[in-house]
Amino acid sequence: MTRKLDLNASRHLVSRTGFGVEWTSVNQLVGNTPEQAINKLLRKVSYRTPGAGYFTPWNVQQNLMESSNSDHKKRMHTMMSRENHRLKEWWVGHMMNTPSPILEKMTLFWHSHFTSSLNKVEQPSLLHQQNLLLRKHALGNFGNMLKDIAKNPAMSIYLDGHLNEKHAPNENFARELLELFTVGRGHYSNHDIREVSRAFTGWGVNRYQQRHQFNHKDHDEKPKKVLGKTVQSGDEVLRVLLGSRHTANTIAKKFWSFFISDGAPDVRYTSVWATKFYQSNYDIKILLREVLTSKPFWDEKYRGTLTKSPADLVIGTLRTLPFKRMPKKEMVNIFRLLGQDLFDPPNVSGWKGGHYWIDSQTLLVRKELLSGWSGANLNTKVNRGDQYRNLSVEEYEKWLLPDKAVRELPALTGGKPRLIRSLTLDPMYQLT
């Protein structure tokens, strides 16, 4: 597609690759070709994150956990819940302020793919470490990310990999590795799962030093047969899995659901993306470019067919409109109520997304949130997004909604806040 981006197309690209439709970001891309715009988005990506604060070392935590003194236990619980919450606030805060929303969006994508939870891991520093790993590879190489994640302490604890030993195989990690992380359902047998779990025996964790630890005596040395190939080590298993085109397909289909539409992936496109991804040796940027320059991405029939995630809704709205900022602590609670409790996914398959974001419970919370924000006075101290003074009703609609409003919009004579309230409370605002 060589056509230059207009306001509509530009807001589409910005909202699908970042959070919300900040006026300046949208306008910067108007007049560019899609390729130029995508280059701009991927050019100066900032990988810097703010410090996440202090995490209690494992030995201190463990002493308190194992103490028979109930006061110690209570103290441990208070401490843990404080640190868990702080980690969530850290990420929400960074999503709000980052100059590179595309990187956070991709990190969030991978957090739902290679997911782990504070609830199970019980050591927030390890989830922070995992988050940094996901961000490091978010726009890098999927193969490298997979190799790192297989040795990631939070992941090993989350899927009981650290308990997987020669005389006591534990299949949890092996199963999810095949079913969710790589080749996907239908492309492996239960026998493969058992063989894969044997290959990863001995892959342990040192919680004190927050690192992977290979325990030789727990490792099953005998050969294993995985997807028809004979292997010995876990590393070799990962090579076999990356050697399967089904792995590229799994990711390509997930990109459809993340970037194009809630509906079922159109395999005519995802199979082409998967091939390119596979041929590039799993270069995520190549896959992303392929998706963002594809016909369905720009096809108007897919505008407004993606349900906003809680991050899109909360962070996106606050980055776009001059509503009163809320404390990070409160934002974290809102994320939870909306069904996207960061670092605490519902289960190992992450968040289902799409239509699943909206049920009767979460729709009520969404409405209440937007009603509260748009009903209050606009915060004039916040500069962000306040440069849209001279737009017409139609321009506001084009900027803030992916498609025509469902309900009738008030005229501008009723005041700008009233129009913006109508726009944000319109059902179309829940979509992108």
Q: With binding defined as CB under 8 A, does residue 172 bind another protein? A: yes
Q: With binding defined as CB under 8 A, does residue 391 bind another protein? A: no
Q: With binding defined as CB under 8 A, does residue 167 bind another protein? A: yes
Q: How far is the CB of 148 from another protein (least distance, A)?
A: 23
For another protein, give the closer residue by CB, 210 or 305: 305
Q: How far is the CB of 318 from another protein (least distance, A)?
A: 21
Which of 406, 412, 415, 416 touches another protein by CB under 8 A?
406
Q: With binding defined as CB under 8 A, does residue 334 bind another protein? A: no
Q: With binding defined as CB under 8 A, does residue 427 bind another protein? A: yes
Q: With binding defined as CB under 8 A, does residue 431 bind another protein? A: yes
Q: With binding defined as CB under 8 A, does residue 296 bind another protein? A: no
The Cα–Cα gap between 410 and 110 comes to 40
Exposure pattern of 244-260 as b/e (b: 16+ CB <10 Å)?
bebbbbbbbbbbbbbbb
| Rounded alpha-carbon distances, angstroms, from residue 136 to 8, 48, 103, 129, 152 | 32, 10, 9, 11, 13
Which of 93, 140, 296, 346 touches another protein by CB under 8 A?
346
At 2, which amino acid appears?
A: T
Q: With binding defined as CB under 8 A, does residue 63 bind another protein? A: no
The Cα–Cα gap between 231 and 211 comes to 25
- β-bridge mates for residue 214, sequence order: 203
Site of tokens 């995630």: 309
Q: With binding defined as CB under 8 A, does residue 290 bind another protein? A: no
Length of the chain: 432
For another protein, give the closer residue by CB, 41 or 180: 180
Q: How far is the CB of 263 from another protein (least distance, A)?
A: 6
Which of 33, 62, 112, 170 touches another protein by CB under 8 A?
170
Q: How far is the CB of 354 from another protein (least distance, A)?
A: 8
Stretch that binds another protein, among 29-37, 46-54, 81-89, 157-165 (CB under 8 A): 157-165
| Rounded alpha-carbon distances, angstroms, from residue 182 to 79, 156, 185, 281, 290 | 36, 16, 9, 14, 20
Q: With binding defined as CB under 8 A, does residue 70 bind another protein? A: no
Nearest by Cα to 278 from 290, 266, 268: 290
Contacts of another protein in 74-113 (CB under 8 A): none
- Per-residue contact flags (x/-) with another protein for residues 238 to 277, judged by CB under 8 A: -----------------------xxx--------------
Contacts of another protein in 196-235 (CB under 8 A): none
- β-bridge mates for residue 168, sequence order: 165
Q: With binding defined as CB under 8 A, does residue 281 bind another protein? A: no
Q: How far is the CB of 173 from another protein (least distance, A)?
A: 10
For another protein, give the closer residue by CB, 138 or 401: 401
Q: How far is the CB of 324 from another protein (least distance, A)?
A: 19
| Rounded alpha-carbon distances, angstroms, from residue 176 to 56, 180, 181, 184 | 30, 5, 6, 9
The Cα–Cα gap between 413 and 388 comes to 16
For another protein, give the closer residue by CB, 65 or 363: 363
- Per-residue contact flags (x/-) with another protein for residues 354 to 373, judged by CB under 8 A: xxx-xxxxxxxx-xx--x--
For every residue of 357-407, DSSP letters joined together read G--HHHHHHHHHHHHHHHHSPP-TT--TT---TT--HHHHHHHH-SS--SS
**Tokens found for residue 422:** 């109508």
Contacts of another protein in 303-332 (CB under 8 A): 304-307
Which of 36, 59, 63, 190 touches another protein by CB under 8 A?
190
Q: With binding defined as CB under 8 A, does residue 175 bind another protein? A: yes
Q: With binding defined as CB under 8 A, does residue 411 bind another protein? A: no
For every residue of 297-347, DSSP letters joined together read HH-GGGTT-SBPPHHHHHHHHHHHS-PPP--HHHHHHHHHHTT--TT--SS
The Cα–Cα gap between 95 and 315 comes to 7
| Rounded alpha-carbon distances, angstroms, from residue 241 to 31, 91, 132, 133 | 42, 31, 24, 20
Q: With binding defined as CB under 8 A, does residue 347 bind another protein? A: yes
The Cβ of residue 216 has, within 10 Å, a number of other Cβ atoms equal to 7
Please work out the total of residues on this chain that contact another protein, with binding judged by CB under 8 A.
Answer: 47
For every residue of 141-184, DSSP letters joined together read BHHHHHHHHHT-HHHHHHTTGGG-BTTB---HHHHHIIIIISS-
Using CB under 8 A as the criterion, which residues of the chain lie in contact with another protein when the complex forms?
160, 163, 165, 167-172, 175, 179, 185, 190, 193, 261-263, 304-307, 339, 346-349, 354-356, 358-365, 367-368, 371, 403, 406-407, 427-428, 430-431
